[in-house]
Homo-oligomer: A and B are copies of this chain.
Amino acid sequence: MSRIPRIVILGAGYGGIVTAIRLQKELNYNEADVTLVNKHDYHYITTHLHMPAAGTDNPENARVNILKLIDEFKIDFVKSTVVQIRQQEKKVILEEGTLSYDYLVIGLGGEPETFGIPGLKEYALGIRSINSVRFIREHIEYQFAKFKREPNRLDYLTFVVGGAGFTGIEFVGELADRIPELCKEFDVDPSLVKIYNIEAAPTALPGFDPELVEYAMNVLKNKGVTFKIATAIKECTPEGVSLATGEEIKAATVIWTGGIRGNHMLEEAGFETMRGRIKVDETLRAPGHDNVYVLGDCSIVMSPEGRPYPPTAQISMQQADVCAANLVAQIRGTELKSFEYKPKGTVASLGRGEAIGIVGTRKIKGGAAAAMKKIIDLRYLFIIGGIPLVLKKGKF
């Protein structure tokens, strides 16, 4: 290779943006050309989307202009949607144009996993982008306005959240905080509003400490959330949901948070996938492709117990560190690192001033956990944008 190698990063989510930021710091001038491709000209903070979706925070606090995060003299940015990966030709087809690569980083994010439940794809809303959360916020407000015109339509005031995992729990916490404000704004009797959180697994927040799960459910029940745990959604229709128990819930708003699968382009590109994800090797590369790194929701990393780690912002950022180091090593011909996930803890917010979490081996809850959640959010802003970004977006 006489010309300098070209690295193309697909997606500016947690994995992609942190890889780009690390590469711009590590790579010397003329060691490589780096191009970051993203659908929008902003990066969004997925773990914060439950707040603007419920309307408890401005969506602007959940996104950052990409050109504020990368140095355009060091990294090219292309705003376009990826259509196809042609790995044999080492090309990426974009909606506007094509890009050739020597090294590819796939951080395209996931797609909603609906487990084949009929109607979810068509009628349920997903908390997955700035556009989608603005839509959810407006949709919710519109239901209150519509109810005032048709006061017998209680389905306008009924909100079904499918999935009591992390996103589902954090969203119902915010929604329960927003409801009294909306009731006041639209002169609606709060006792008419219903929030259902429905989960097919035998517990909310599967995998989390049971004592903390109980605490979380009590906090949310006191805010007016009705849980239906170990209850599968059988079908979603324009009128609401039918449950496996035979119960029907009429609801004009159904929000599905039940899971994420990988990106459909991976399988189409000929990679071997499991639920749309690529099981990466210890260097984070797709098996058999020594120039393709895969991060975040597109990747599967196995725990020492042989189970896939759940895809989180935390693991994506740790992957990005190793991915960037390995790209530099590969270009310089030095030895690659092995990825090893080091869980630092997890905090789930439950709305204003309430949260639960595990930090190290310590269980925390209530105000202390809410404060910790805020620290984690601010730390992320600091990692990607330093103090200026913390000051600008860190008000939440």
Q: Does A228 contact B (CB under 8 A)?
A: no
- How far, in Å, is A130 (CB) from chain B's closest CB? 8
Q: Taking CB as reference atom, which chain B residue is nearest A141?
A: B138
Give A184-221 as 1s and 0s: 1 = Cβ < 8 Å from B's Cβ atoms: 01110000000000000000000000000000000000
Interface majority SS on A: helix, strand, loop or mixed?
helix
Question: Which residues of A102-151 are within 8 A (CB) of B?
Answer: 130-132, 134-135, 137-139, 141-142, 144-146, 148-149
Q: Which of chain B's residues have a CB closer than 8 A to the CB of A132?
A: 149
Q: Taking CB as reference atom, which chain B residue is nearest A40?
A: B187
Q: Taking CB as reference atom, which chain B residue is nearest A125?
A: B149
Asked whether A186 lies within 8 Å of B142 as measured between CB atoms, the reply is no
Question: Which residues of A151-197 are within 8 A (CB) of B?
Answer: 185-187
- How far, in Å, is A43 (CB) from chain B's closest CB? 14
Q: Which of chain B's residues have a CB closer than 8 A to the CB of A185?
A: 134
Give CA–CA (A141, B141) in the complex, Å: 10
Q: Which of chain B's residues have a CB closer than 8 A to the CB of A187?
A: 130-131
Q: Which of chain B's residues have a CB closer than 8 A to the CB of A137?
A: 145
Selected from B130, B142, B148, the residue in CB contact (under 8 A) with A142 is: B142
Q: Which of chain B's residues have a CB closer than 8 A to the CB of A148?
A: 131, 134-135
Give CA–CA (A134, B142) in the complex, Å: 9
Q: Which of chain B's residues have a CB closer than 8 A to the CB of A146?
A: 135
- How far, in Å, is A77 (CB) from chain B's closest CB? 17
Give CA–CA (A137, B146) in the complex, Å: 11
- How far, in Å, is A246 (CB) from chain B's closest CB? 33
- How far, in Å, is A310 (CB) from chain B's closest CB? 28
Give CA–CA (A145, B59) in the complex, Å: 13
- How far, in Å, is A183 (CB) from chain B's closest CB? 13
Give CA–CA (A283, B139) in the complex, Å: 50
Asked whether A138 lies within 8 Å of B134 as measured between CB atoms, the reply is no
- How far, in Å, is A128 (CB) from chain B's closest CB? 12
Q: Which of chain B's residues have a CB closer than 8 A to the CB of A138?
A: 138, 141-142, 144-145
Interface pairs (18), CB distance under 8 Å: A130-B187, A131-B145, A131-B148, A131-B149, A131-B187, A132-B149, A134-B145, A134-B185, A134-B186, A135-B148, A135-B149, A137-B145, A138-B138, A138-B141, A138-B142, A138-B144, A139-B142, A139-B145
Closest 6 CB pairs of A and B: A138-B145, A135-B145, A131-B148, A138-B142, A142-B142, A138-B141
